[in-house]
Copies of this chain bind each other. A is one copy, B any other.
Amino acid sequence: MKVEFSLEELVSLTRASSVTGSASGPATGIASLKQAGPGDLSFLTHRRYQPELEASKAGFVFVPEGFEYAGKPGQVVLRVASPNDAITSLCRKLETLLWPRPAPGVHPTAFVDPRAEIHPDATIGAKCVVEAGATVGSRTVLEAGVVFGRNSSVGPDSWLGYNVTVYPECSIGARVRLHSGVVVGADGYGYEFSQGRHAKVPQVGTVVIEDDVEIGANSCIDRARFGATVVGQGTKVDNLVQIAHNCRVGKHCILVAQVAIAGSTTLGDYVMVGGQAGLAGHIEIGAGSKIAGQSGVAHDLPPKSYVMGSPAIEALKDQKFQMMRQRVPELLRRIEALERRLPESGH
Chain A residues in contact with chain B, CB under 8 A?
A: 1, 29-32, 35, 87-88, 91-92, 94-95, 98-99, 107, 109, 111, 125-127, 129, 131, 143-145, 147, 149, 151, 161-163, 165, 167-169, 177, 179-181, 183, 186-187, 189, 191-192, 196-198, 200-206, 212, 214, 216-218, 220, 222, 225-227, 234, 236, 238-240, 242, 244, 252, 254, 256-258, 260, 262, 275-276, 278, 280, 293-294, 296, 309-311, 313-314, 317-318, 320-329, 331-332, 334-335, 337-339, 341-342, 344-345
Contacts and interface: CB of A to CB of B under 8 A. Distances in A.
A262 B275 contact: yes
Given A165-B180, A179-B186, A186-B179, A329 B321 contact: yes
B227 A31 contact: yes
Given A145-B145, A216-B186, A226 B127 contact: no
A183 B32 CA distance: 25
B147 A145 contact: yes
B331 A320 contact: no
Determine which residue in A30, A91, A220, A338 has the highest number of CB atoms from chain B within 10 A of its CB, and name it: A220
A169 B97 CA distance: 10
Nearest to A94: B204
Given A32-B227, A91-B202, 9 more contacts: A30-B227, A92-B202, A181-B183, A197-B234, A217-B222, A244-B257, A257-B260, A257-B262, A317-B326
Point out which of A92, A98, A234 has the most chain B C-beta atoms below 10 A from its C-beta. A98
Given A191-B236, A262-B275, A326-B313, A220 B218 contact: yes
With most chain B CB atoms within 10 A of its CB, the pick from A149, A242, A252, A323 is: A242
